[in-house]
A and B are shown apart, each in its own frame.
Chain A
Amino acid sequence: AQSVAQPEDQVNVAEGNPLTVKCTYSVSGNPYLFWYVQYPNRGLQFLLKYITGDNLVKGSYGFEAEFNKSQTSFHLKKPSALVSDSALYFCAVRFQYAGNNRKLIWGLGTSLAVNP
């Protein structure tokens, strides 16, 4: 079965420290991988994606993610966390099935708290 796992419900990090939010997936074929962020009472904002090419992907707000095919992982990283990065982060995988139909599978989300 296709699935996406975010093993940590909550990640706490001090401001200025590096942060990592983990994501692993189990999807057949060549998936497209995404990270979204959601601030309180807001919609989902796109951060970055991996489709093909360089395994290190750079996105919005200084975030980056590394695609690791052998470990089926797509961890989100930032070298220096800001208090304003505190939010709910979702990993998602888009895969193709039944012709041209495509679906997003979502992880359960990781709540990031950056402490001043």
Chain B
Amino acid sequence: DTEVTQTPKHLVMGMTNKKSLKCEQHMGHRAMYWYKQKAKKPPELMFVYSYEKLSINESVPSRFSPECPNSSLLNLHLHALQPEDSALYLCASSGLIDGYTFGSGTRLTVV
């Protein structure tokens, strides 16, 4: 059982579509993260929110737009994606010295 919930689990979208990935945590963590993971590779950091403010953007293309409405929620808005953006998108949260707790991910396919 995961304490970080991601929806949807699977998403297929066209290159002109707009969609959003959602993440929710109830662990009281004040840092939340979006990662992108390709098959059999380590996750790649995309964005970090700390106390609901964007603190790190790892030079992610603007077709990915993060949003943190409150301390429990994290969204990733997607627009005009490319086929190479197909991947597993992972949300995570953490405390000051904790490891990260990951959600089960959204498997995104761009067609």
Contacts and interface: CB of A to CB of B under 8 A. Distances in A.
A60 B45 CA distance: 25
B104 A46 contact: no
Contacts of B104: 42-43
**Chain A residues touching B, range:** 20 to 34
A110 B43 CA distance: 14
A44 interface: yes
A108 B45 contact: no
A53 to B, nearest CB: 12
Contacts of B92: 44
Contacts of B105: 42-43
Nearest to B98: A49
Interface footprint category on B: 20 to 34
B59 interface: no
Interface string A84-116: 000010101010000011111011110100000
A42 B106 CA distance: 9
Nearest to A51: B97
Nearest to A44: B102
A43 B55 contact: no
A1 to B, nearest CB: 16
Q: Which 6 A-B pairs have the closest CB atoms?
A: A106-B42, A43-B104, A44-B102, A43-B102, A43-B105, A34-B99
Interface of B: 2, 6, 31, 40-43, 45, 50, 55-56, 88, 90, 92, 97-105, 107
